[in-house]
Amino acid sequence: MSAATTDYSPKPGPAPVGRMLLAQTAFETRMLLRNGEQLLLTVVIPTVLLVLFSAVDIVAVEGPGKRVDFLAPGLLALAVMSTAFTGQAIATGFERRYGVLKRLGASPLPRWALLTAKTGCVLVTEALQVALLSVIALALGWSPHGNPLTVAALLVLGTAAFSGLGLLMAGTLKAEATLAGANLVFILLLLAGGVIVPLGKFPDAVRPVLELLPISALSDGLRSVLQAGAGVPWADLGILAGWSVLGLAAAARFFRWE
């Protein structure tokens, strides 16, 4: 007699990497959207700032058009920073502290796929942010200009730059230090990165340094395209590309999983 064979269903073993990647991305996105603190940071704060500063003449703005034409690009840049840098750094830092990353790193999901899933979560969240802020800005009278592909390139490079810096912070500092540092950087760059206050209002001595910051390059690039209808802002794209390479390379080199 031939030995009986057992047919297991479903077949044991890890799922295909693509399916695991999609599942982890969906999980990361659900966890982010269920987190009230992160939702406040990524959605509520940029929305409130857009509505408030568009309606009230608190700070002087530059360029043609209405106040919202100046503010909308800067707050799109702020939304990217809040998700790709601040939110991701804090969430990843505490996952590392509680051993979540260590356990996931021992699962069939490759470590590169885990980081890719986090990037996918960031991109999904940013798409929701951009859609929401754009609808609100249009309702406030925003008149955007420029090439959408150029805007997309700026947003993607800005995401890469801030993701690298966020993962570098989360993978090298303690969770509490990451929490404090990420929020402090968020506030400083909000005030000094050309998001709401034009860089032209700062002293000449510090302006060249501020212009090299990733948030300044992103907000300035978006504003030159969407507000002024300019062509490709190569200088701003170059600054973002430089931050992307440095941040992602440093994160890959120094990130500690436990």
Of 23-27, 148-152, 196-200, the least confident: 23-27
Query: pLDDT digit string (tens) for 60-76?
Result: 777 777 889 999 999 99
Give the residue extent of every domain in the chain. 17-254
Distance between CA atoms of residues 35 and 236, nearest Å? 33
pLDDT, mean over the chain:
85
Cα separation values, 227 from 63, 67, 158, 195, Å: 7, 10, 18, 13
CA angle (195 as vertex; 140, 43 as ends), nearest 5: 60
Asked if residue 42 has pLDDT above 50, the reply is yes
String of b and e for 135-171 (b: at least 16 CB within 10 Å)?
ebbeebebebebeeebbebbbebbbbbbbbbbbbbbb
Q: Say if residue 246's pLDDT is above 90.
A: yes
Q: What does residue 78 show for φ and ψ, rounded to 5 degrees?
A: -65, -40
> What digits encode the pLDDT tens for the residues 79-112?
999 999 998 898 888 888 888 777 776 677 777 7
Q: What does the pLDDT read at residue 94?
A: 87
Residue 14 has pLDDT above 80, yes or no: no
**What is the Cα–Cα distance from 153 to 238, expressed in whole angstroms?**
11
**Quick one: tokens of 152?**
């997309």
192 contacts 208 by C-beta, under 8 angstroms: no
Per-residue burial over 218-228, b if 16 or more Cβ lie within 10 Å, else e, is bbbbbbbbbbb
Residue 208: the pLDDT is 92
The yes-or-no verdict on residue 1 having pLDDT over 50 is no
5 confidence band (pLDDT: 50, 70, 90): low
Structure confidence at residue 8 as a pLDDT band (50, 70, 90): low
d(CA 170, CA 85): 10
Residue 6: per-residue pLDDT: 58
The lowest-confidence range among 106-110, 221-225, 237-241, 253-257 is: 106-110
Which residues, 6+ apart, have CB-to-CB distance to 245 below 8 Å?
A: none
**What's the confidence (pLDDT) of residue 80?**
94
- Pairwise CA distance, residues 35 & 215, whole Å: 24
